[in-house]
Amino acid sequence: MTKSAVKIILRLCLILLGCFITAMGFNLFLIPAHLLTGGISGISMIVYYLTGLPVGAQNLVYNLPILYLAYRIFGKRYFMDTIIGTVAFSLILDATAFVIDWRVCADPILNAVFGGVLSGIGFGLVFRANANTGGLDVLGAVIKKFYSVDLGTAVAVLNFAIVSASAFMFELEEALLSFAGIYVTAELTNRVVAGFNREKSIVIISPKSSEICDEIMSGIHRGVTYINGRGGMSGASCDVLFTVVRLTQVAQVKAIVDHYDAQAFMIVSDTSEVSGRGFTMECESYEEACKKWSHNV
C-alpha cells in the first residue's frame, strides 16, 4: 500500500472517529436533556422534539443545498470530504440513537458541558482532517477562508440566532444551557484544530545574548536562532534570540536569562503545532553540533 493511500485512509478514519464522538455527545447528553446545538443539527433537533423525526435523516436532507456551496467554494475534494462527513455523521447519529434511552446523566448542566466537550472534540477531529459535517460548518469554513476568523468562533456566532429562536419555543433555561454547550463546543473545536501540544516561543534581547544562547543550548538542549536587530531609540545593533521550549522549560530559561542579565527584554508567547527538530524530529545534541561547527570552520 502506497503512502498516499495510507494517508487517505487515515484521513477517512479521523473523519469517522470525529463523527462518532460528536454523535455520542448528541445522543448521550444533549438530546436526553432536551438541549440544542447550533446549525442544521440544531434545527433537526428542534423538529425532532416537536415531531419525533430522526435527527440524522433530517440533517442529511437539510444539508443538500449546502453541499452545493461546498463544491462551489472549496472544490471537488472538499466537496467529497463534506459528503463523507455529512453522510457518516447522519448515519452514525441515527444508528446510535438507542443510547438516548440510557439517560446516563440527570443533571442538565453536566449534560450541556459534557455534550459540548464531546461535540467539540469530534468536530475538531473532523476539521483537522480538512473536512466537516455539513451545515453551518461549511459557512464557518467560508468565513475562516475569507476573513481568518477561528472556525469554532465563526460557527458559534452563526448558531446564536438559531438557539435564540428556540428560546421562544422551549423553556428559557434549556436555551441558556444550550448556549453554554455551544460555547464549550466552540472552545474545544478551536483547541483540537490548533492542537493540544502547545509550546512556548521566547524572544530575548540582551547584551549577554551569546552567554544566554550557549546556556540554553547546553543546559536545556533547545535550539536558539540569532536574529539581527537594531534599537529603535539608540540605533545600536543588537542580537535577538528566538527559541521554542516546552512549558516545563520556561522557568529554566527565565532563570538563565536572569542569571546573565536581570534587565534583559524577554517575551514569552503561546505556540501550537510546533514541528521540526527537537519536537517532531530527533535533534542532535549540543556537543555534536559544536563538533560539527568546529569541523566546518
Q: Three-class SS of residue 224? A: coil
Q: What domains lie within the chain, and their CATH numbers?
A: 3-194 (no CATH), 199-296 (3.30.70.120)
88 vs 96: CA distance, rounded Å = 12
Quote the pLDDT of residue 161: 76
pLDDT of residue 280: 61
pLDDT above 70 as % of the chain: 86
What is the predicted pLDDT for the residue at 149?
Answer: 63
* pLDDT at position 286: 55
Rg of the Cα atoms in the chain: 25
What is the predicted pLDDT for the residue at 31? Answer: 96
Averaged confidence pLDDT in the chain: 85
- Cα dihedral value 283, 285, 288, 294, nearest 10: 90
Q: What is the pTM of this model?
A: 0.76
Which of the residues in the chain have pLDDT under 70?
A: 137, 140-145, 147-156, 158, 196-197, 278-297
pLDDT tens digits, one per residue of 183-235: 898 889 888 887 766 789 999 999 999 999 999 998 888 889 999 998 888 88
Residue type, position 159, single letter? N
DSSP helix/strand/coil, 273: coil
